[in-house]
Amino acid sequence: MVNLKKAKKRLVFLVNEIEKHNHNYYVLNKPVITDFEYDILIQELEQIEKLFPELKGSDSPTQKVGSDLTAEFEKMTHKYPMMSLSNTYSLEELNAFFSRVEPLLEEKPQYVCELKYDGASISLGYKNGRLDYALTRGDGVVGDNVINNVKTIKEIPHFVGDDVPANFIIRGEIMLQKDIFNSLNNLRAERGEALFANPRNAAAGTLKTLDAKVVSERGLTCFLYYLLSDEVICENHFDNLVLAREWGFNVPPYIKLCNTHEEVYQFIAQWDKERENLPFETDGVVVKINSLKHQRQAGYTAKSPRWAIAYKFSAQQARTKLLSIDYQVGRTGAITPVANLDPVLLAGTTVKRASLHNADQILLHDIRVGDIVLVEKGGEIIPKIVGVDKSQRVENSPAYKFISQCPECGTNLIRPEGEAAHYCPNEEACPPQIVGKLVHFTSRKAMDIEGMGDETVETLFQKGIIRNVADIYDISFDKIIKIDRMAEKSANNLVVAIEKSKQIPFSRVLFALGIRYVGETVARKLVEAFHSIDNLIKADKERLLQVGEIGDRIADSVIDYFSNPKHMLIIERLKAAGLKFDTESNAIQFNSDKLAGKSIVISGVFSVSRDEIKNLIEINGGKNLTAVSAKTSYLLAGANPGPEKVAKAEKSGVTIIDEVQFRAMLEN
């Protein structure tokens, strides 16, 4: 069905079509299609960009909105990151969660069970009792402020009174109930328009509609389920929800405070049966530790809170025909087979593609082109094939043979011992690998080079300006100003952004290199242990294995990466360009227990990055906190600290120190 070439052709068509309708709507004020039809075009473009992220450019219509009505949505940083939840699909995995988290706590915890609502996440900020902003999840760090649309939702109060914290955040889910969703689709059917796939997509699309009047007409609702504040409101999550309900928030009744594991199981079993009778969609139960103190003790991973987990109800299955198999090449060279299916409705969504994971999965299920396959949604973005109806198989159907050569560059594939995936080893010349590494390097969580999105990277690669990450720092205004559609201002901004990226701390530079299995957390652990790239390069396997969270696979990958002369040449070029390959020269990097037992909140701007300051606190025995309370040891205040945190510290009697005093504490 859809391979990269076809997807690119369809994407070009959609972009041109959407831009034409944007011009009709915003400039000419003569729209020729309905809002619903426009939403469908956007959704299809988003789906292609999700399946083929290398095709998404920074100027895609999915990345910008019209400028006449509400202009484009304001981007705001979440005060507290909106992290994702870990998922579990069985009681055995839920028990494993209990076994992981409970040893971290001082005593056996209570749990709060809530239904998992299938909608669009929202974070509402209140200031002096009034709704101040409403952020979508975005990328978890930055969201779109959709406050004008949110104000049309009747369950969301604009003012909750004076007897509340001066500043607090409450989070929840914006949804369409089943009857309203069905009414919308019935109206679309009468008009001969394509139907919305499911209530969640309809709610999310509506939330991003630029006309607040249209939003108000679509009947969105909102459940709220998580209260956040620098002030301690209640000591536990359940009481916070009860209080939020008293303030006038629409906290749903589908919540239970559980003292035992058995009570958690009972809640799950109850709603697994009764969910079909609910007026809205739910796909599981969220289990959270109740005590906020216990939540802090459990902590967080890089992506998720350790104190909460989502139990997903049994996945739904559908039967359809496997039409063909495509192969995608990732930035590490991993080859992923993807099934193209005869479109089938599954859990309210039309499914056309499904993951096959690797050759072993194809062999395990004896999957063949032309088979009637069982497709399941198990919480993944792309559904997966879990079986074959062999009674429907065509006689003498040939067994499927996994490809032996890279579909992009023709290089013979390899399969490392002990791994399930096949890889293209041609990392220096296989186009999708090169572009993937460049996109990863320039991404926000890595070198954060603004203006160097996927499409710009692809263009620079195609023009021969960059072939590896070191080439980025040879880019000059003269080299890029001649590129089509590269305006003088954009070229200047890109050169400035590249120069600015040289201040990115070592841990993120290490992550940006794209060493296999070295994610953000592992990169930070390696930096804490070795402090410089030279020390890391010289480390043998035994020394690497002494670092927390580093196992054989990561250690072997690190050693293999630095044993490649081409990688070493790139690192030397990056060093020469001025990137940071050691911990900040003016930071103290020895390990100690000088801050043992101390809880520190940081605020403001320092002589080094905030990540480096946090690292200093941790490697010297201290603990980083995000909010000031009476139990905080110090507020470490840099230039322009948050006035609310300073006021809270003064009120709570918390000692406020500056960076000079902080360094003196470590030196003495």
- Assess whether 149 and 20 both reside in one domain: no
Domain presence at residue 273: yes
User: What secondary structure does DSSP assign to 432-490, as a single string?
Assistant: HHHHHHHHHHHSTTTT--TT--HHHHHHHHHTTS-SSGGGGGG--HHHHTTSTT--HHH
Residue 657, pLDDT score: 94
- ∠551-552-553 over CA atoms, to 5°? 95
Asked if 247 and 175 sit in the same domain, the reply is yes
The CATH number for 20's domain is 1.10.287.610
Domain-terminating residue out of 392, 412, 443 = 392
- Residue 269 CA to residue 263 CA, distance in Å, equals 10
- Does a structural domain hold residue 449? yes
CATH of residue 196? 3.30.470.30
pLDDT in tens, 555-593: 999 999 999 999 999 999 999 999 999 985 434 444 678
If asked whether residues 299 and 331 sit together in one domain, one would say no
Compute the distance between CA of residue 294 and CA of residue 395 in angstroms, rounded to an integer: 60
**Burial (Cβ within 10 Å: 0-12, 13-18, ≥19) of residue 149:** buried
> Looking at the domain assignment, is residue 399 inside a domain?
no
* CATH code (residue 349): 2.40.50.140
3-class DSSP assignment, residue 607: coil
Is 354 within a domain? yes
The CATH number given to whatever domain includes residue 540 is 1.10.150.20
Distance CA(92)–CA(159), nearest Å, equals 44
116 catalytically annotated: yes
Has residue 411 been placed in a domain? no
Half-sphere exposure of 49 (CA within 13 A, CB side): 19
Helix (H, G, I), strand (E, B) or coil at 325: strand
User: Do residue 48 and residue 81 come from a single domain?
Assistant: no
Within a domain: 416? no
Which range has the worst mean pLDDT, 342-356, 516-530, 577-591? 577-591
Note whether 246 and 228 are within 8 A (CB). Answer: no
The reply to whether 582 falls in a domain is no
In this model, does residue 332 exceed pLDDT 90? no
Same-domain pairing of 445 and 556:
no
CB 525 within 8 A of CB 548: yes
Question: pLDDT value at position 68?
Answer: 28
pLDDT one-digit tens code per residue, 47-56: 888 888 888 8
Query: 106 and 200: one domain?
Result: yes
Active-site residue (options: 56, 116, 288, 352): 116
| Domain at 624, CATH number | 3.40.50.10190
Residue 67: pLDDT band by 50, 70, 90 thresholds?
very low
Number of residues assigned to the chain: 668
pLDDT surpassing 70 at residue 1 = no
Rounded mean pLDDT of 407-434?
Answer: 90
Q: State pLDDT tens for residues 85-131.
A: 887 878 888 999 999 999 999 899 999 999 999 888 999 999 999 99
- pLDDT tens-digit readout, 176-227: 888 888 887 776 655 555 556 567 777 877 887 766 777 777 889 999 999 9
Residues 380 and 494 placed together within one structural domain of the fold: no
Q: 225 with 177, same domain? A: yes
Name the 3-class secondary structure at 98: helix
- In this prediction, residue 26 carries a pLDDT of 37
The stretch 318-322 carries a mean pLDDT of 91
Range of the domain at 553: 506-577
Sign for the pseudo-dihedral over CA of 266, 271, 272, 274: positive
> What CA–CA distance (Å, rounded) separates 237 from 226?
8
Give how far the C-alpha of residue 54 lies from the chain's centroid of Cα atoms, to the nearest Å. Answer: 17
Last residue of a domain, one of 477, 503, 529: 503
Query: Quick check: 31 pLDDT over 50?
Result: no
DSSP 229-254: -SS---SBHHHHHHHHHHTT----S-
Looking at the fold, whether 87 and 129 belong to one and the same domain comes out as yes
H-only helix segments in 119-236: 147-150, 178-190, 199-207, 212-217
Whether 417 is in a domain gets the answer: no
- Both 166 and 112 in one domain: the answer is yes
Instruction: Decide which of 312, 332, 359 is a domain's last residue.
Output: 312
Integer CA distances (angstroms), 295 to 96, 157, 227, 229, 300, in order: 17, 28, 14, 14, 9
Q: How much is the pLDDT for 320?
A: 93
Same domain, 107 and 255: yes
φ, ψ for residue 653 (rounded to 5)? Answer: 75, 25
Share of the chain above pLDDT 70, in %: 89
pLDDT, position 251: 95
The number of folded domains in the chain is: 6
Residues 496 and 630 in one domain: no
